[in-house]
Structure 1
């Protein structure tokens, strides 16, 4: 029984720890929302466009495209919704996953949220002919929060997921000539995590006891049919003691934080004065969480039983896990057609497969380690956009994008009901003074209905599909001094 309980608990913790990363508005939990100007054109030209200080973070080589000393502040509001529908949820039994009665509870409500995403930038040119540039940035490149009702039918797969990754970066670039620049930045990233899930102690104890009874029967020479009957008898006995699926729900909450360092490298070439071609690379960031906390809320009857049969388990403890946030590369092109029109395009690739393929979780208590397989796929983000200079003070923007998800039906769950989406974006810029610029952007995300089919460590099942959707609104101010 000890081994079964060990495996169950470690898996439950591992799912939570590894899913310290969830889902918002680039694929999975990656955030692009660092610029109102960029949002208005679906982030086409994100590393190559003139006059957007967000390049300090995305491609420092493009700081030569900024006009003198300036400060820029952006604020995006992401409205994300995720509601499960057409679902079935059943407890497991000795007959197999999902063969017990229906799981009590509702649909959990809308697990989404409205989240603010801030960004800030500072730029100053220096050196002879101002051919060197220094910049600082504060951005949120990864973030996610979903929360279901505590008693919803999918509680054994997840209740709350909350992740924030905040970067503070310093950037430098050097202009070899007016047509070629190189840049680099170093950033410190602060990752914080809080996650919770329900634990079906009734099913875990019942199933472990039944398996132990069957194993003991086989050990003394019973036939498989006799061993199955022994398991059934033990299951009924445990049920009379109050341990059956759904009879003794508990809860697990984990939290952790870590600081780590990453870097960005960039190159910007301008074959003509009207065309910029940029290439940038952001490194992966490996967060080694060594001081995480796992807290368990165990029902009294289960706690008394476990103290006798599995001492040192399901107790508040520390834990460690490595969560790697993926590397990405961007190819970006911007071209001024004439004094009115500018067009741009981006293609970005994010290396999820090598970063978020598996997570190993190590608990300080008696419970076994767990290796969690997530099998995320690498993704592509592609966008096209345009700007139209309506007057000396007003600029209009628009863009479309294709944003691929790293998840698949086999590896999608309630914490990350992610799906490939299409973007439609609009924006407007207003420059009332030569040194002040305001920008506003809006994006609507078009999605399909991602389906899930899950089995918990205690063999409860959840099947269904999601209504997911998103809208993003952003505003910024740029001040030159």
Structure 2
């Protein structure tokens, strides 16, 4: 009953907490504080603790009979925009400030539990937040007609099973039950619409309204993995996570609509399709000697399927449609562990995280670009059964330019946002590990 209460609490917490995307795209790689110290190198092979339920379920066969992991990540991003000649649909300069810092402090929880059924068969449960984003600008910023607030929250419930096929090969499989909730808002330049239509209900940029879209839904996927123990010192891991197809149902609403335009901007029900990407990871763990471990990882992510962000009314008309045209990506990571003594293990790692977003299709909702990770962490054994992990990562984001003209927006006005972002991220991770 205690475990059931913990699980319910963690699910509730995951639904409440918002998240900013800190891996490429809107992915969240922050699923383990132990792996975080290595910049997530070797995750599919290291089988460090019960967080392997997410990294590679086959790794459960390397753990003690039963293990509980509770972790959290404090993520502090900075995303500052500098305007450089943004214009309205009719070529006039767009008024407004630079939007402030679009990033905000966020907390991401993780929960993992594993149990030995037999010496060769393990089951596990993971509850985590594998995808998410949040950007929020000042309501009167220069890019308000393209984005004010963008938020995606997910919660993933991941039951898994693993077994040892023989002394060298372990296999694992899991089910992904994912809930997603999304909210989008942007300003609508009703003043320019009134002027262009000759309705006399406002002047350009003088009568803004706000369009708000919200939706949520569930989807099902799966993950699988294998670990091959080459020898006592070296093992290889391979892990795959499937796509999850979700339909988000919700509503669209407008504020401050002039009466002359009321019939053109009705509130109503909407839906949107969201497909999370599949991924394939290959990892290496090598115990160099009694003091040093070496880790490496390459991960492919199938972002190419994200072609459009389309919101459709119940009537079948398009409420919003933004071309995304993302590309598949590769993430490379290398790490090392130093066993200082029987109680303390030190970690470090570096990574290159490729962005799926090109300069042509970058939007202020996800002003993403290539990033470089520098990480450090430690594990300290409090006793034979308990330990804690801490980790810190600084993420350097490549200078990011933006030159985006609205697609089929809620107002159909083709304003253009031009400028550049200065982005960076700090990630602080902490987890408690209990074996029993």
Q: Structure 1-normalised TM-score?
A: 0.83
Runs of 4+ in structure 1 deviating by more than 3 angstroms, as ranges, are 365-372
Secondary structure in 1 matching 2:192: helix
Q: Name the residue aligned to 1:433.
A: 383
Structure 1's 287 and 83: CA in aligned 2 closer, same or farther, altered over 3 A? Answer: same
CA contact (8 A) 1:22 1:28 kept: no
Match of 1:358 among 300, 308, 332: 308
Q: Name the residue aligned to 1:266.
A: 225
Mean CA deviation greater in 362-371 or 49-58: 362-371
Q: Deviations over 1:325-356 (max 9, x none)?
A: 111110011011111111011100100002x1
Consecutive unaligned residues in structure 1, runs of 5 or more = 1-20, 94-98, 210-236
CA contact (8 A) 2:72 2:108 kept: yes
Q: Name the residue aligned to 2:102.
A: 111
Q: Name the residue aligned to 1:166.
A: 155
Secondary structure in 1 matching 2:379: strand
Secondary structure in 1 matching 2:360: helix
Q: For 1:70 and 1:246, locate their aligned partners in 2 and report how far apart those are by CA, in whole Å.
A: 58
Structure 1's 50 and 61: CA in aligned 2 closer, same or farther, altered over 3 A? Answer: closer
1:154 to 2:143 alignment: yes
Q: Name the residue aligned to 1:252.
A: 211
Q: For 1:184 and 1:411, locate their aligned partners in 2 and report how far apart those are by CA, in whole Å.
A: 36
Q: Deviations over 1:296-340 (max 9, x none)?
A: 1133xx2x2124xxx3x3111001111111111100110111111
Q: For 1:366 and 1:174, locate their aligned partners in 2 and report how far apart those are by CA, in whole Å.
A: 48
Deviation at 1:206, TM superposition (A): 3.5
Q: For 2:19 and 2:71, locate their aligned partners in 1 and report how far apart those are by CA, in whole Å.
A: 23
Deviation at 1:368, TM superposition (A): 4.2
Match of 1:49 among 30, 46, 49: 46
Secondary structure in 2 matching 1:429: strand
Secondary structure in 2 matching 1:124: strand
Match of 2:71 among 51, 71, 74: 74
1:199 to 2:188 alignment: yes
Q: Name the residue aligned to 1:414.
A: 364
Deviation at 1:23, TM superposition (A): 5.7
Q: Name the residue aligned to 2:169.
A: 180
Match of 1:474 among 393, 414, 429: 429
CA contact (8 A) 1:283 1:326 kept: yes
Q: For 1:245 and 1:366, locate their aligned partners in 2 and report how far apart those are by CA, in whole Å.
A: 30
1:326 to 2:277 alignment: yes
Match of 2:37 among 35, 40, 43: 40
Q: Name the residue aligned to 1:276.
A: 235
Deviation at 1:255, TM superposition (A): 0.7
CA contact (8 A) 1:23 1:417 kept: no
Q: For 2:314 and 2:221, locate their aligned partners in 1 and report how far apart those are by CA, in whole Å.
A: 28
Q: For 1:470 and 1:115, locate their aligned partners in 2 and report how far apart those are by CA, in whole Å.
A: 11
Mean CA deviation greater in 439-448 or 44-53: 44-53
Consecutive unaligned residues in structure 2, runs of 5 or more = 1-17, 407-411
CA contact (8 A) 1:49 1:65 kept: no
Q: Deviations over 1:190-238 (max 9, x none)?
A: 101111110112223443x3xxxxxxxxxxxxxxxxxxxxxxxxxxx55
Q: For 1:315 and 1:370, locate their aligned partners in 2 and report how far apart those are by CA, in whole Å.
A: 14
Q: For 2:52 and 2:318, locate their aligned partners in 1 and report how far apart those are by CA, in whole Å.
A: 45
Larger helix percent:
1
Q: Structure 2-normalised TM-score?
A: 0.91
CA contact (8 A) 2:396 2:423 kept: no
1:447 to 2:392 alignment: no
Deviation at 1:259, TM superposition (A): 1.1
Q: For 1:106 and 1:29, locate their aligned partners in 2 and report how far apart those are by CA, in whole Å.
A: 26
